[in-house]
Amino acid sequence: MRTCDFCGKQADDADTMTWVTSVENGRKRVYCDTCSREHLRAIESKLDAEWW
C-alpha cells in the first residue's frame, strides 16, 4: 500500500504504476497520478512540494 505525499490518497502497489516519484531534500516522495498531473510544471521545475 502506498500513500500520496500530497493528497493522502492510498492505493495498492499494482495501481501506482502511473504515480510519480521525486526526491526532495534527500527524501523520497510519491505523488498520485491526479496530483502529478495537476502539478506537472512544478515537478519538472524541481520545486519542493511546499511551493505548490
User: What's the number of domains the chain is made of?
Assistant: 1
The pTM score is 0.75
Residue 3 pLDDT grade (very low, low, confident, very high; cuts 50, 70, 90):
very high
Mapped onto helix, strand or coil, the DSSP state of residue 31 is strand
Is the pLDDT assigned to residue 49 strictly greater than 70? no
Domain enclosing residue 26, as ranges: 2-51
Chain segment 11-36, per-residue pLDDT in tens:
998 889 899 998 888 899 999 999 99
Residue 52 pLDDT grade (very low, low, confident, very high; cuts 50, 70, 90):
low
In terms of DSSP H, where are the helices of the chain?
A: 33-38, 40-44
Return the residue matching grid coordinates 519538472: 44
